[in-house]
Amino acid sequence: SQQGEEDPQALSIQEGENATMNCSYKTSINNLQWYRQNSGRGLVHLILIRSNEREKHSGRLRVTLDTSKKSSSLLITASRAADTASYFCATVTNAGNMLTFGGGTRLMVKP
Amino acid sequence: DAGVTQSPTHLIKTRGQQVTLRCSPKSGHDTVSWYQQALGQGPQFIFQYYEEEERQRGNFPDRFSGHQFPNYSSELNVNALLLGDSALYLCASTLSLIADEQYFGPGTRLTVT
């Protein structure tokens, strides 16, 4: 079973716009990670935020975490056509480092 | 520095058959996890191997089994294949049992007819 839900399931924007994806989860976590997947291939790790952190930045990526609401958001600023992919959030509990994924957001950035 | 590799890339099997998928972890990594990703869904954790033993297991039947070799490479075996086993099977490796960042291979696309 999956930990939570991602919203929206699909997002289509123009190049240069910002893209925001949300993730909700159900249990207490140790950390939350975001991954990117191109065309049903392997996943690429983007960013990790720990349960005691509220916000983290990496290049054009900004992640927030609200443990009281059990939710996270991923913001991609100044999007590019090359950002077109599926984005997944994944949680890690204190029981081990296996990942529990959400259903993903399919992002399309139009040139 | 070689990343995670998986073989084969694609595989077509018939219901009831058995299949073996292979994974070589990233150089220096000793922990391997397997995930199943059905079309349009997020990956689901199958199991994790460390020191040649299964350490964690997700909600998958005993038809799914695995093995880890002394060189840290791993195999995923699925017996008595069902149509519902059709999926992308992803292997991920980490530096240790407690390392956070997982490195994924390109996956093996299994189609069961």
Q: Which of A52-61, A69-78, B94-103 bottoms out in mean pLDDT, i.e. has the lowest? A: B94-103
Ramachandran angles phi, psi of A82, nearest 5°: -70, -10
Give me chain B's average pLDDT, please.
95
Distance from the Cα of A81 to chain B's closest Cα (Å) equals 21
Query: Which chain B residues are within 8 Å of A104, Cβ to Cβ?
Result: 41-42
At residue A39, the pLDDT reads 85
- Note the pLDDT tens digit of each residue in A88-110: 999 999 888 899 999 999 999 99
Tell me: pLDDT of A76 over 60.
yes
Q: How far apart are the first and last CA of chain A?
A: 36
Query: Which chain A residues are within 8 Å of B107, Cβ to Cβ?
Result: 40-42
Give me chain A's average pLDDT, please.
93
- Note the pLDDT tens digit of each residue in B50-60: 999 999 999 99
Tell me: pLDDT of B97 over 90.
no
- Report CA Rg, chain B: 13
Ramachandran angles phi, psi of B19, nearest 5°: -140, 150
Best CA proximity match to A50, nearest among A67, A75, A62: A67
Q: How far is the C-alpha of A12 from the C-alpha of A60, rounded, in Å? A: 18
Going by pLDDT thresholds of 50, 70 and 90, the confidence category of residue A1 is very low
Query: Which chain B residues are within 8 Å of A43, Cβ to Cβ?
Result: 43, 90, 92, 104
- Note the pLDDT tens digit of each residue in B74-87: 999 999 999 999 99
At residue A4, the pLDDT reads 65
Q: Which whole number is the average pLDDT over A39-46?
A: 88
At residue A3, the pLDDT reads 59
